[in-house]
C-alpha cells in the first residue's frame, strides 16, 4: 500500500483523505519496514504537502492518539497552546515555554503540548523537567492540573504511542538531510484540542498554510508567526526584525500581516541576546524572567509573544494591551509564585 502511494506522490499526485487514512495506518504499523516509510515521507515532501493533506494527516493521527477527557467546566473556557515547530536551529532560550508559564499565571488555561529536544539544545519537556515541573502526567492527572493549576504538560510520546514506529523512518530521512511532514505536524496534534493557539514556524511561507490547517481542524482563534532574526528566521514573534503573521477568528476573518519592531517599545537587541544553553541554563533564564530579575531583551521577547497569546486567548483587546498585562503579572510577583506552585505540586 505505502509503495503504491509513494509512486503516486512521485508523479506529483496529491493524496485523498482516504489515502491519508491508509498511509497513517501503514506509518504506525510496526510491521512496515522503516525504509519504505522513509521513501513515502520523502516523496510527500518532494511533492510538497497541500493544506488538505496536512489537515488530513493531523486529523487521522488525532483519531488514533490518546485523548484526555476534559470536563465541560474546562471545555467551556478557551484553552491555549503556545509552541513552535522548531527547525530554526538558532538555539534561543525556551521562549514559548516561558510564555506558556507567564500566560498561565495571568489566568489562561494552558495545555502545553511538546517533546524533548530534536533540533535544539533544550526542548519544552527538557526545560520543564529542569525547572522541577512534571512532564509525565497521565491523562486524568493532566486534566486535573489544567483545572486546578491552569497549566499542564501533555508529553507527546504518552499521547501518540504510534510515533515510535515512525521514528526510525524519520531518522533515515534526517540522515539524508530530508525534512518530512512531521517537522511541522507536531504542534497540530495537541491531544487536549486547544481552542486557541500561538504557533511559531521556521519560515514565513508556512504561516498561511498552517493557519489554514488550524482553522480547518476547528480552532476558534489562532495566530501563526515567523520573525526575522538578522539573517535567519525565528519560530516566534521576533523583536529583531519584521514578523509575518497569519491569523483567524473562528471560520472567518482570515488575515495576513506584517508586524514591525518599530511599532513596539523595544530596547536594542541582537540575536546573541536571545541565545540559550542546555536545559539547566534555560531553566535559570526562565526563573530570572518570571521573577522580574531579567529586564533585558529576553524580557521583551517574552512580553511580545505573551501579549499576542493573551490577545489570542481573548484576555486582551490588542497585543499591546497583552504586553502590559504580562509585564504587570511578572512585576507583581504572580508569575514566579505560579512557577513555585507548579514545582510544589510536582513534588507531591
* pLDDT per position as a tens digit, 331-342: 999 999 999 999
Q: Bridge-partner residues for 49, per DSSP?
A: none
For 112-121, how does the pLDDT look when each residue is reduced to its tens digit (9 = 90+)? 998 887 656 6
Q: What pLDDT is stored for residue 251 in this prediction?
A: 66
All structural domains of the chain with their residue ranges: 77-158+193-346
Which CATH number is correct for 77-158+193-346, 3.40.1030.10, 1.10.10.410, 3.50.50.60, 3.90.180.10? 3.40.1030.10
Percent of the chain with pLDDT over 90: 83
Label residue 329 by pLDDT band (50, 70, 90). Answer: very high
pLDDT of the residue at 237: 97
Read off the pLDDT band of 262 (50, 70, 90). Answer: confident
pLDDT tens readout for residues 5-35: 999 999 999 999 999 999 999 999 999 999 9
Amino acid at each position: 500500500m505505502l509503495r503504491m502511494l509513494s509512486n503516486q506522490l512521485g508523479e506529483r499526485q496529491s493524496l485523498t483523505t482516504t489515502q491519508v487514512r491508509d498511509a497513517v495506518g501503514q506509518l504506525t504499523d510496526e510491521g512496515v519496514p522503516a525504509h519504505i516509510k522513509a521513501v513515502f515521507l520523502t516523496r510527500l515532501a518532494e511533492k510538497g504537502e497541500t493544506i488538505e493533506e496536512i489537515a488530513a494527516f493531523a486529523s487521522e493521527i488525532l483519531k488514533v492518539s490518546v485523548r484526555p477527557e476534559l470536563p465541560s467546566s474546562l471545555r467551556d473556557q478557551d484553552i491555549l497552546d503556545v509552541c513552535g515547530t522548531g527547525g530554526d536551529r538558532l538555539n534561543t532560550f525556551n521562549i514559548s515555554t516561558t510564555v506558556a508559564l507567564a500566560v498561565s499565571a495571568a489566568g489562561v488555561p494552558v495545555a502545553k503540548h511538546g517533546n524533548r529536544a530534536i533540533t535544539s539544545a533544550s526542548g519544552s519537556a527538557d526545560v520543564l523537567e529542569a525547572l522541577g515541573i512534571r512532564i509525565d502526567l497521565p491523562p486524568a492527572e493532566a486534566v486535573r492540573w489544567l483545572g486546578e493549576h491552569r497549566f499542564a504538560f501533555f508529553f507527546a510520546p504518552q499521547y501518540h504511542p504510534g510515533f515510535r514506529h515512525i521514528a526510525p523512518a524519520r531518522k533515515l530521512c534526517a540522515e539524508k538531510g530530508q525534512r518530512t511532514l512531521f517537522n511541522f505536524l507536531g504542534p497540530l496534534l495537541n491531544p487536549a484540542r486547544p481552542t486557541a493557539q500561538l504557533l511559531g514556524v521556521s519560515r514565513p511561507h508556512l504561516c498561511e498554510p498552517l493557519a489554514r490547517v488550524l482553522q480547518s481542524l476547528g480552532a476558534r482563534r489562532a495566530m501563526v508567526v515567523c520573525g526575522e532574526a538578522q539573517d535567519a528566521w525565528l519560530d516566534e514573534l521576533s523583536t529583531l526584525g519584521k514578523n509575518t503573521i497569519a491569523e483567524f477568528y473562528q471560520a472567518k476573518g482570515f488575515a495576513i500581516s506584517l508586524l514591525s519592531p518599530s511599532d513596539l517599545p523595544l530596547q536594542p537587541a541582537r540575536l546573541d541576546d536571545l541565545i540559550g544553553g542546555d536545559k539547566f541554563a534555560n531553566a535559570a533564564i526562565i526563573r530570572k524572567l518570571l521573577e522580574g530579575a531579567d529586564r533585558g531583551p529576553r524580557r521583551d521577547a517574552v512580553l511580545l509573544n505573551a501579549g499576542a497569546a493573551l490577545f489570542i486567548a481573548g484576555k486582551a483587546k490588542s497585543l499591546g494591551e497583552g504586553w502590559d498585562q504580562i509585564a504587570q503579572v511578572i512585576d507583581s510577583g504572580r508569575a514566579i509564585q505560579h512557577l513555585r506552585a507548579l514545582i510544589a505540586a510536582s513534588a507531591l
